[in-house]
Amino acid sequence: MPFFDLPLDRLREYRSASTEPEDFDAFWAKTLGEAREHELDARFARVATGLATVETYDVTFAGFGGQPVKGWLVLPAGITEPVPVVVEFVGYGGGRGLAHSHLLWASAGFAHFVMDTRGQGSGWAPGDTADPVGSAPAFPGFMTRGVEDPEAYYYRRVYTDAVRAVEAARSHPLADAARTAVAGISQGGGIAVAVSGLVRDLAAVAPDVPFLCDFPRATTVTDRTPYREIGNYLKTHRGRRERVAETLAYFDGVHFAARATAPALFSTALEDQTCPPSTVFAAFNAYAHEDKAIEVYDFNDHEGGGVFQQAAQLRWLPERLRAR
C-alpha cells in the first residue's frame, strides 16, 4: 500500500479538529472518583511458568465499578528491592495472553504489569476479564458499545480500568511507584495516551502506533476496522453523527495528550491504514510535555517498527526510569 495520508512535513504540523468537551476534566474526575470508592483489592498470586529468569504473578484488582480485572505481574527473578515498573496495555481484540508470554521488560530489569482488557481476549491472545456492563445495540466489535452516551461508552470502563491498573502495579512492594511508565501497541498505545492525561505523576509514556486518537479524521480517512465500526454504525443509525462525535470527544487521545506530564516516545508508520499517521501525529503534536519524540517508519503498515521500535524503547525508556 503506497502512502495515502498527509506528507511528512504536513504531518509534523497537523492539528486535530476534535473539539474538547467543556466538562472533560469534570467528567473524568467524577469517573475516577466513583471508581476509587471501591477498594482496589489488588491480589497477587504466584504462578509456576517453568521460567528461571522471571517470577510471574496472576493479578486481580478492582477496575471500573469495582468489577474484577485480571493482569500479569512479571518480575526479574530474585530481586529484593523495588524496581521501576512498566504497565502495558494490549492491542484490540487481544487479552493478557498466557503467563509465560511477557519477558521483554523483566529481562531489562523492570517490573512488568500487563492489564487484561475487559470483554476482549478472543481475537488473537486469550483474556480472562468479562465486561459485565451492557449497552445499547452496537455494531460487532467494541467501538460502538454505548457510543451515544459518554457515561455508557465502553472505553469509559477501559480507561478507568487502566488507571486502576497503574495503581495496582504500584501497590506491589517490589514496584517503585515513583518510576512508573505506561506503554502499549495500537489500542494499547491509545490507552497509554489516555492514561498519560489521567495519571499526573508518570515517569514515561511509550505509545506505539496508537489507536483511539483524532476520531474526526480517523473515522473518515480510513475504511479499515476498528475505526470503520463507527462508520458502519452510522450507516445504520442515520442522523446520529453529531451525538456519536460528542461522545467520542471524551475519549479522544488528543485531549488526554494535551494534559500529559511525562516524557513520551511515540511511533507511527506512514502506510498504516489501521491507525493513520495523521491521527498519531495529532496526539503527538498535542502532547504537552516538552521531552517527546516520535519514530517514523516510512514503508510500514500497522506492524509499525516491530522489534525495531522495541529496540528504540530499550534505548529510551531506561534513561527516563533510572534517572529518577
Q: At 203, which amino acid appears?
A: A
Which pLDDT belongs to residue 105? 97
Which pLDDT belongs to residue 102? 95
Rounded Cα distance between 298 and 3, Å, is: 9
**Sequence-distant contacts of 175-179: CB under 8 A, at least 24 apart:** 175/73, 175/82, 175/83, 175/85, 175/111, 175/113, 176/82, 176/83, 176/84, 176/85, 176/111, 177/85, 178/203, 178/324, 179/84, 179/85, 179/203, 179/321, 179/322, 179/324
In the chain, what are the domain boundaries? 8-322
Which pLDDT belongs to residue 234? 95
Which pLDDT belongs to residue 134? 75
Rounded Cα distance between 165 and 150, Å, is: 21
Question: Residue 107: CB partners within 8 Å, gap ≥ 6?
Answer: 53, 54, 76
In this structure, the dihedral spanned by the alpha carbons of residues 83, 101, 225 and 230, taken in order and rounded to 10 degrees, is -50
Residue ranges in 36-185 assigned as alpha helix (H): 104-107, 154-171
Exactly one of 196, 252, 272, 278 is catalytic; which is it? 272
The alpha carbon dihedral of 28, 197, 114, 203 has a sign of negative
Exactly one of 186, 196, 267, 278 is catalytic; which is it? 186
Residue 100 annotated to the active site: no
Distances (CA, A) of 56 to 69, 87, 147, 166, 167: 17, 14, 36, 17, 18
Other Cβ atoms less than 10 A from the Cβ of 147: the count is 28
**Sequence-distant contacts of 53-61: CB under 8 A, at least 24 apart:** 53/77, 53/103, 53/106, 53/107, 54/103, 54/106, 54/107, 56/99, 56/100, 56/102, 57/172, 58/99, 59/113, 59/168, 61/164, 61/165, 61/167, 61/168
pLDDT per position in the chain (324 positions), as tens?
A: 578 899 999 999 999 999 999 999 999 999 999 999 999 999 999 999 999 999 999 999 999 999 999 999 999 999 999 999 999 999 999 999 999 999 999 999 999 999 999 999 888 788 999 999 877 776 779 999 999 999 999 999 999 999 999 999 999 999 999 999 999 999 999 999 999 999 999 999 999 999 999 999 999 999 999 999 999 999 999 999 999 999 999 999 999 999 999 999 999 999 999 999 999 999 999 999 999 999 999 999 999 999 999 999 999 999 999 755
Which pLDDT belongs to residue 125? 87
Place of cell 527516563: 320
Contact 190, 211 (CB under 8 A): yes
In this structure, what DSSP letter does residue 137 have?
S
**What top-level class would CATH report for the domain 8-322?**
alpha beta
- Angle at the Cα of 50 from the Cα atoms of 45 and 54, rounded to 5 degrees: 65
C-alpha cell at 123: 481475537
Residue 16 annotated to the active site: no
Rounded Cα distance between 107 and 307, Å, is: 15
How long a stretch of residues is the chain?
324
Strands 54-62 and 68-76: antiparallel
Residue 186 annotated to the active site: yes
**Phi, psi dihedrals of residue 293, rounded to the nearest 5°:** -145, 160
Q: In the sheet that 83-89 helps form, which strands lie side by side, from edge to edge?
A: 43-47, 54-62, 68-76, 111-115, 83-89, 175-185, 204-208, 264-269, 292-297
Q: Which of 265, 109, 84, 263 is nearest to 179 (CA)?
A: 84
Which pLDDT belongs to residue 198? 98
Rounded Cα distance between 298 and 281, Å, is: 14
